[in-house]
Amino acid sequence: MNSLIDNTITFVKKELTNSEGGHDWFHIERVYKNTLLIAKKEDVDTLIVSLAALLHDIADPKFYDGDETIGPNIAREFLFKQNVDSKIIEHVIAIIENISFKNSLESSIKFTSKELKVVQDADRLDAIGAIGIARCFNYGGFKNRALYNPDIEPNLKISKEEYKKSSAPTINHFYEKLLLLKDKMNTKTARLIAAERHVFMESFLKQFYCEWNGEK
């Protein structure tokens, strides 16, 4: 197992060289660490959650014109070359295909497992709190989006397609995703961590609006 994990880490680091700062190797590393932390309290297959965490953003669709097949295909090919058991490969691929927030905006659930829930929580934790805020504005800058525009309201009933095509100001993303994640955590461990990070985001937004309005 250790050699497989080491090989996967080496592969992911190479694949994500020069990636956007919020979706680079360090994002993967944080999700991997969060996954192992949560997994300690859950009855899950450690190998599956480890591989899924390491490979979940190997080709994020938002950087590939929305193509959701590239990442799973790259991951499957890599794992096949590593002689990983086919059942493990398919479970890891299913997690990669169903982990994202945008897929949760669809009414039908295509796949679920205890392992998916753990990796999904780990990924969502990295989208909130101080790092979540930093990632949010980093991506907004990458896409040349406005920080905030009081005239553009957040879309609180956003669909998957609207979410994928959105070019709204970065602050709107807090209301369309980040502030919703606390209540979408699957595990007790993640819920406890998310609660603290959620409060930090609320505090940040309060300060942001005060500064924007010249109040302090």
Max CA distance (Å), the chain:
61
Among 28, 93, 96, 24, which Cα is nearest to 56's? 96
Residue-wise pLDDT tens for the chain (216 aa)?
A: 689 999 999 999 999 998 888 889 999 999 999 999 999 999 999 999 999 999 999 977 776 777 788 889 999 999 999 999 999 999 999 999 999 876 666 666 678 999 999 999 999 999 999 999 999 999 999 999 999 999 999 998 888 778 777 889 999 999 999 999 999 999 999 999 999 999 999 999 999 999 999 998
**Chain mean position to CA 195:** 17
- Please measure the distance between the N-terminal and C-terminal CA atoms of the chain and give it in whole angstroms: 54
- Residue 172's CB is within 10 A of a number of other CB atoms, namely 21
Residue 137 sits at φ, ψ, to 5 deg, of -75, -30
pLDDT given for residue 158 in this prediction: 81
Q: What is the pLDDT of residue 176?
A: 93
Which of 76, 80, 77, 60 is closest to 68 using CA atoms? 60
Neighbours of 84 (CB within 10 A): 18
Structure tokens at 207: 């300060």
Q: Which residues contact 68 (CB under 8 A, 6 or more apart)?
A: 61, 97
Structure tokens at 139: 């991506």
- Token digits for 9? 């880490």
Q: Which residue carries 């497989």 as its tokens? A: 4
pLDDT at 75: 95
Tokens of 215: 């109040």
Query: How far is Cα 16 from Cα 11, in angstroms, rounded to an integer?
Result: 9
Exposed/middle/buried for residue 130 (C-beta within 10 Å: 0-12, 13-18, 19+)? exposed
